[in-house]
Amino acid sequence: MVTVEALVERVHAGDLRLHELETAADGDADLATAARQQVVIGRADSVENGDLDSIANYGFPADRAESNIENMIGAIQVPIGVAGPVEIDGEAIDEETVLPMATTEGALVASINRGCSSINAAGGATARVTKRGMTRAPVFSVAGVAEAEALVSWVRDHEAQLAATAESTTNHGELLDVTPYAVGNTVFLRFRYDTKDAMGMNMATIATGEAAELIEAETTASLVALSGNLCADKKPAAINATEGRGRSVTADVTIPRAVVEERLDTTPEAIAEINTKKNHIGSAKAGSMGFNAQVANVVGAMFLATGQDEAQVVEGANAITTAEVTSDGDLYCAVSLASLEVGTVGGGTGLPTQSEALELLGVAGGGDPAGANADALAEAIAVGSLAGELSLLAALGSRNLTSAHAALGRWRPDRRRTLAIVGVCRINQW
């Protein structure tokens, strides 16, 4: 019988590499993980007590993560809480729901909770996905501008053929369009796909690879790289802010003046002015890609909770917050996320805890119709972002930001949670 000790000895002897442990363990992923833990511990004298009690104490079979991680030694636990419930009037989600959020930032969930309470008092928030499309943009080399123009013309004339070729690699993906960009003797082709309930990056890559082979066979172009960074994946990019990537989604709410004053301890005028001077002018002066207060907080926390690709928080937080005083003296506020890349199937969504978080939202697995669950998740994240913007802008308007963080964990010298600070006592509404 294969044992941990025998596997560790083989690694130390140079007979096995870490990534070969699963095979040597006859496919027992948990045994391989235990052996890998011992190897790693042996190389890290600083590990207290010579073990990894917390990392090694994971709550699911290691083989459940085979498609998500290599060289697994365990799992890391991030606290998960819920904000809400919050009332959402969406096209894909139309109900009161809680928002699962995984984070280590004290006061964040409480802040979102406060925003949710204000949204509920206003009758709920409206959310809509306005555009869909996961992109992959290969880059081709041509002899010069004449061949560049010829390639662009060929692509425009053969988009149906490109679609048939790309879609032959997937049962669900649909090529929506191909947009060419020529720069001298370099041509980028930005393929955009409807990937339904999958986030779709792998789907788009595989499909575009097949289409690129057709282009090379039928034109003088030579593929330089399947990804030419005009996609643009996991990087701040103006093209995603204008053209969108994944899902473009907006959430808005009109909050009566009385609710703003009572629950947010400020006025519509103060929030509108702070939003303009902070989120718009301040962001422009800083050269920011996003014009918002803390959208990344909500996107990041809900991404971790629901098994999304955490690196794509870069694009997901590319959002614009707007706020204005209505003719009736109430507060209108909206958050528009241009490139929110989410899915409810594939990737990390099938891991046990992440799957349960999706179930809390009622969006686990494929939707009916296809794409509905991913749309619903996008709408929920947008409303959570809206709640976060309202709460933070209000905290700045009432000058309670520092006291809220002091009370809820950002600075607690005596390690005691005290809510006896003006404004903070209202944060936990649920």
DSSP 29-71: HHHHHHHHHHHHHHT-TTSGGGS-HHHH--SS-GGGGTTT-SS
Q: Does 324 participate in catalysis according to the annotation?
A: no
Q: Which two tokens stand for residue 398?
A: 């009432």
Q: Does 405 participate in catalysis according to the annotation?
A: yes
The answer on 159 and 123 residing in a single domain is no
- DSSP assigned state of 424: G
Residues with Cβ < 8 Å from 257, sequence gap 6 or more?
Answer: 267, 268, 328, 329, 330, 331
- DSSP assigned state of 312: G
Q: How many other C-beta atoms are found inside a 10 Å radius of the C-beta of residue 171?
A: 7
Q: Which two tokens stand for residue 120?
A: 């509920």
The answer on 191 and 147 residing in a single domain is yes
- Alpha-carbon 300 to chain mean position: 6
Of all helices (H) and strands (E), which one includes residue 180? strand 174-183
Q: How many other C-beta atoms are found inside a 10 Å radius of the C-beta of residue 52?
A: 17
Q: Which two tokens stand for residue 331?
A: 């507060």
- Is 234 a domain residue? no
- Is 378 a domain residue? yes
The answer on 127 and 145 residing in a single domain is no
The answer on 338 and 217 residing in a single domain is no
Residue 45: give the domain boundaries: 4-65
The answer on 219 and 167 residing in a single domain is yes
Looking at residue 422, its pLDDT comes to 34
- Is 75 a domain residue? no
Q: Does 309 participate in catalysis according to the annotation?
A: yes
- Is 71 a domain residue? no
- Annotated active-site residue in 63, 269, 273, 309: 309
- Is 193 a domain residue? yes
> How many domains is the chain built from?
3
Looking at residue 415, its pLDDT comes to 41
3-state secondary structure (DSSP) of residue 205: helix
Among candidate residues 225, 259, 274, the one where a domain is terminated = 225
- Is 70 a domain residue? no
The answer on 297 and 181 residing in a single domain is no
Looking at residue 50, its pLDDT comes to 61
How does pLDDT run across 55-103, given as a tens digit for each residue?
988 989 999 999 999 999 999 999 999 999 999 999 999 999 999 999 9
Among candidate residues 34, 65, 96, the one where a domain is terminated = 65
- Is 335 a domain residue? yes
The answer on 324 and 407 residing in a single domain is yes
Looking at residue 191, its pLDDT comes to 98
CATH of the domain at 313: 3.90.770.10
The answer on 99 and 47 residing in a single domain is no
Q: How far apart are CA 246 and CA 201, in angstroms?
A: 9
In 199-281, alpha helices (H): 201-218, 238-243, 257-263, 268-274
- Annotated active-site residue in 265, 341, 379, 405: 405
Q: At what angle do helices 295-306 and 352-361 cross, to 10 degrees?
A: 120
Looking at residue 418, its pLDDT comes to 37
- Annotated active-site residue in 63, 89, 105, 252: 105
The answer on 264 and 216 residing in a single domain is no
Q: How far apart are CA 188 and CA 339, in angstroms?
A: 20
Residues with Cβ < 8 Å from 93, sequence gap 6 or more?
Answer: 127, 361, 362, 363, 375, 376, 379, 380
Q: How many other C-beta atoms are found inside a 10 Å radius of the C-beta of residue 424?
A: 21
In 91-237, alpha helices (H): 108-121, 145-157, 159-167, 201-218
Looking at residue 41, its pLDDT comes to 87
The answer on 88 and 58 residing in a single domain is no
Contact by Cβ (8 Å): 417, 407: yes
Q: What share of the chain is helix, strand, coil (3-state, %, to 5)?
A: 45, 20, 35
Looking at residue 42, its pLDDT comes to 79
Q: How far apart are CA 189 and CA 225, in angstroms?
A: 11
Q: How far apart are CA 191 and CA 140, in angstroms?
A: 13
Looking at residue 52, its pLDDT comes to 84
3-state secondary structure (DSSP) of residue 105: coil
In DSSP terms, which residues pair with 28 in a beta bridge?
none
Looking at residue 398, its pLDDT comes to 83
CATH of the domain at 166: 3.30.70.420
The answer on 272 and 397 residing in a single domain is yes
With tokens 């899915």, the residue in question is 343
- Is 333 a domain residue? yes
The answer on 407 and 289 residing in a single domain is yes
Q: How far apart are CA 399 and CA 422, in angstroms?
A: 10
Q: How far apart are CA 206 and CA 12, in angstroms?
A: 38
In tens digits, what is the pLDDT along the chain, a chain of 430 residues?
A: 899 999 999 999 999 999 999 999 999 999 999 999 989 887 766 555 567 888 988 989 999 999 999 999 999 999 999 999 999 999 999 999 999 999 999 999 999 999 999 999 999 999 999 999 999 999 999 999 999 999 999 999 999 999 999 999 998 899 999 999 999 999 999 999 999 999 999 999 999 999 999 999 999 999 999 999 999 999 999 999 999 999 999 999 999 999 999 999 999 999 999 999 999 999 999 999 899 999 999 999 999 999 999 999 999 999 999 999 999 999 999 999 999 999 999 999 999 999 999 999 999 999 999 999 999 999 999 999 999 999 999 999 987 655 555 555 554 544 434 333 333 434 444 4
